[in-house]
Chains A and B, each alone.
Chain A
Amino acid sequence: MAQPLLEVHDLHTVFATKNGDVKAVDGVSLELNPGETLGIVGESGSGKSVTALSVMRLQRPGKIVGGSVIYKGRDLTKATEGEMREIRGQDIAMIFQDPMTSLNPVFRTGWQVAEPVRLHHGLDRAKAMAVAVSMLGRVGIPTPETRARDYPHQFSGGMRQRAMIAMGLTTTPKVLIADEPTTALDVTIQAQILDLLRHVNRDFGTATILITHNLGVVAGMCERVMVMYAGRVVESGPTVDVFAHPKHPYTWSLLRSIPRLDAERHEPLKPIDGLPPDLIDLPSGCAFHPRCQFKVERCSRDTPVLNRVGETQLAACWVTQSGAELKGA
């Protein structure tokens, strides 16, 4: 088995607020292999975006207070800012949720797409623009030579997101982190963008981390998935397995809460009761226990550790680690 491209070990990122420290990332570990697609799923506030930003060391004003991020044998949490700048945009690229606000409104799109390759590979303006135009074409933007001279606000949402993806790929990075790339888009465009990302992963061999709150997106795109809750990883494993037999009550409840076409007419929906926890004042023991229908006494006392449950999956749950099955109405 090849060496993992990117490893995160027990990462802790904290935001200081006047009401206390928000533990946005509370002991997260993950592995990304070359060419792999990993999905990070969770609701708002689960820490998925901050984890990605921490890898890039863009988590300000938060602070990384523990753990390590190993890339190419180096711990990125200890790298200098200069070293990080080499890596950002060149080895690890990140694209963001809202392409309208994520692109600078006063510069032409082609110029922005060409910027990483101009800075990192030292190409002159003409060559860099040629690369940008070619990449814009490859991500499916028609007449890229003329479109490159347009400003971001002249693009439609889907086209803008394609341009952002192009911007991330011009330097042929090893890792592409996509933070909710489809959330701000119409459903039909979503499918197109996901398709594009799949092709990118296949044709360029770029390992992709896809961050989303949408289980359907993960199912369509990612080989492996990691479920986060309250800043912690609660389950991870191959997508097929996690979806077929989830080993954590949160994942289980999430999958169950999706409305199904083949459900009975009068069957009520099954939302997860309660609200996500306050990250300053987390519940004792397992962060999910107040909302969990499977909880036992230990759950409110001891924080569960991520351990192997079943053949391919890891889950942080006392109940499933002791062998119980998750079943319910």
Chain B
Amino acid sequence: MLIKFVARRLLASVIVVLGVTAVTLTLMDRTRGAYVPGLDLNPALRPEDIARLRADLGLDQPFYQWYLTWLWNVLHGDFGRSMIDGSSVLTHILERLPNTLELTLTAVVIGILLSVPLGVIGALRRGSKTDHALTVFSVAGFAVPQFWLGLMLILVFSVTFEHYGWPWLPSGGVTSPFGGGDIGDRLLHLIMPATVLSFFYLSLWSRFTRSSMLEVLSQDYIRTARAKGMSERRVVYLHGLRNALIPLVTLVGLELPGLVSGGLIVEVVFSWPGLGRLAFERALQYDYTTVMGVVFFVTLLVVAGNLLADVLYAVLDPRIRYA
């Protein structure tokens, strides 16, 4: 039963990925005529050379042919070459991938580990001062621009702290350029970006957990559990929370694209060498092939993440498994 479910979701995912390639390539089609801008201005290149270059890159083919060629290449691991220096796009992607994963996964873990207790507390102490404080905190958390939060944190914890001689947090990069590289150093560099990235989701997920908990606690089976003479702790945490967490899994899955998007901004602000920053830097240099490759790859990651979330959901909810 689980296999059937996974197979169905896998098929849907493949269709979505294909759709994404269609969208991105349709957009990119616009630029094929303008590929390699500036080449025309290069006096060392003759018009024939430019034409040959374009033929090499397949820029003079009809759209569908170009699309299929691109797709074929990608399936064989060839994501094309950067238009700036001809290096392999896939190489760049794989170089930066671990950093993005490190950042994103840490943010997700922090987000979940903090949101669930906060949400449960809010639900159990509904209407109390604690609950109101938590609500205010999460409502405010929604409204803070991520990039600005990053800037402010750097301003305080890096620049100001350093100025006053207090121990300060590094403001950029994955590790220190000199003498770093160990776990402690990596952690120091990770704290601020991961906090900024998870901040928004903390607000969202804690509110969601709270309302999910409240809904679950009003269900009949909770009343049954109490009628069986269970301790309130058991009722809330075993019978209640187990049910309340299920929709959270779906929500986290749904928020993956947003997380990755936010990741890009955080990577730029904190000079974090990840996929987002790669896309951004290359975009500014009009390196279309690299940007396209990254967009595709990142979407692939997101779709895979969603699939994982769906599988986890099926594992947690027997109603889906034994439909």
Contacts and interface: CB of A to CB of B under 8 A. Distances in A.
Interface of A: 56, 58, 81, 84-90, 93-94, 96, 98, 101-107, 115-116, 119-120, 150-151, 153-154, 164, 167
B137 interface: no
A217 to B, nearest CB: 21
Nearest to B319: A153
B229 interface: yes
B228 A105 contact: no
Contact of A88 (B229, B239, B246, B316): B229
A104 B318 contact: no
Contacts of B223: 58, 96, 102
B225 interface: yes
A167 B229 CA distance: 12
Interface string B33-68: 000000000000000000000000000000000000
B239 A104 contact: yes
Most chain A beta-carbon contacts within 10 A, residue among B223, B229, B239, B319: B229
Contacts of B220: 96, 98, 101-102
List the 6 closest pairs (A to B, CB-CB), nearest first: A89-B229, A88-B229, A89-B228, A101-B220, A104-B221, A102-B220
23 contacts: A56-B227, A58-B226, A58-B227, A81-B232, A85-B229, A87-B229, A88-B227, A88-B228, A89-B230, A93-B227, A93-B228, A96-B220, A98-B220, A101-B219, A101-B220, A101-B221, A104-B221, A105-B318, A105-B319, A106-B318, A107-B242, A153-B319, A167-B228
Contacts of A102: 220-221, 223-224
A178 to B, nearest CB: 12
Given A86-B229, A89-B229, A107-B242, 11 more contacts: A85-B230, A88-B227, A89-B227, A101-B220, A104-B239, A105-B221, A106-B242, A115-B230, A119-B228, A119-B229, A153-B319
B228 A115 contact: yes
B243 A106 contact: yes
B317 interface: yes
B222 to A, nearest CB: 8
Nearest to B242: A106
A85 B239 CA distance: 16
Contacts of A93: 227-228
Interface in B103-150: none
Interface in B185-234: 219-221, 223-232
Interface of B: 219-221, 223-232, 239, 242-243, 246, 316-319, 322
Given A58-B223, A151-B322, A153-B319, A104 B243 contact: yes
Contacts of A81: 232
A85 B231 contact: yes
Nearest to B221: A104
Contacts of B319: 105, 151, 153
Contacts of B226: 58, 88
Given A98-B220, A101-B219, A154-B322, A106 B316 contact: yes
Most chain B beta-carbon contacts within 10 A, residue among A89, A94, A104: A104
A197 B316 CA distance: 34
Nearest to A120: B229
Nearest to A154: B322
Nearest to A52: B227
Nearest to B232: A81
A150 B319 CA distance: 11
Contacts of A86: 229
Contacts of A56: 227
B318 A151 contact: yes
B317 to A, nearest CB: 7
A96 B222 CA distance: 12
Nearest to A167: B228
Nearest to B226: A58
Contacts of A119: 228-230
Contacts of B322: 150-151, 153-154
A79 B123 CA distance: 27
Contacts of A87: 229
A56 to B, nearest CB: 6
Contacts of A103: 221, 224
A90 B224 contact: no
A128 B233 CA distance: 21
A86 B239 CA distance: 19
A93 B227 CA distance: 7
Contacts of A106: 242-243, 246, 316-318
A96 B224 CA distance: 8
A64 to B, nearest CB: 16
B243 A105 contact: yes
Contacts of B318: 105-106, 151, 153
Contacts of B229: 84-90, 116, 119-120
A106 B239 CA distance: 9
A237 to B, nearest CB: 29
A162 to B, nearest CB: 15
Contacts of B246: 106
Contacts of B243: 104-106
Contacts of B221: 101-105
A154 B319 CA distance: 8
Contacts of B317: 105-106
A314 to B, nearest CB: 29
Contacts of A94: 227
A234 B221 CA distance: 32
A329 B252 CA distance: 66
B235 to A, nearest CB: 10
A98 B243 CA distance: 18
A58 to B, nearest CB: 6
